[in-house]
Amino acid sequence: MIVLDTHTLIWLANDLPKLGRTARRHIEKATPRGELTISSISYWELAMLVDAQRIRLPVELTQLRTWAKAAGVNEIPVDGDIAITGGRLTGLHGDPADRLIVATALCRHAVLLTADQNLLAMSSGPKRLDAQS
């Protein structure tokens, strides 16, 4: 199973070259098996970034979510186990979205697909794959 970090969903949806060939191969393998996922917190994070005018999306956020579902990206809601795991993470900054995305990957025994250098450099946590590779 793969959990996409928020930015990797944007890269995938817009077919951006930042998403590397190895990452794309992993996505292509996971999708037909129903193992490509995203934490629901990513949509909250995107809504906050759009509202703060830190990013602009080419489509409305609800359209992006609809596209993701149609493309085979399964949404994992933040449940109590994920919330507790996210709160207990050590050695990770306080960004709630990052903490819950990492916790989602941990709780689901999934690979986290990210280009976030802070997440890639964690000494513990879920398996990680650099989205730019």
pLDDT of residue 92: 85
Three-class secondary structure assignment of the chain: CEEECHHHHHHHHCCCCCCCHHHHHHHHHHHHHCCEEEECHHHHHHHHHHHCCCCCCCCCHHHHHHHHHHCCCEEECCCHHHHHHHHHCCCCCCCHHHHHHHHHHHHCCCEEEECCHHHHCCCCCCEEEECCC
Give me the percent of the chain exceeding a pLDDT of 90: 93
Distances (CA, A) of 70 to 13, 31, 33, 93: 11, 11, 14, 33
Contact 108, 76 (CB under 8 A): yes
pLDDT for the residue 43: 98
pTM: 0.96
* Closest-CA residue to 130 (of 14, 15, 19, 17): 19
CA distance 68 to 75: 9
- What's the whole-number mean pLDDT along residues 43-55? 96
The pLDDT > 70 percentage for the chain reads: 100
CA 39, chain centre distance (Å): 6
Q: What is the mean pLDDT of the chain?
A: 96
pLDDT digits (tens, 9 = 90+) for 51-92: 999 999 999 999 999 999 999 999 999 999 999 999 999 888
All structural domains of the chain: 2-130 (3.40.50.1010)
When pLDDT is cut at 50, 70 and 90, the band that residue 126 belongs to is: very high
Number of residues that make up the chain: 133
pLDDT band at 99 (very low <50, low <70, confident <90, very high): very high
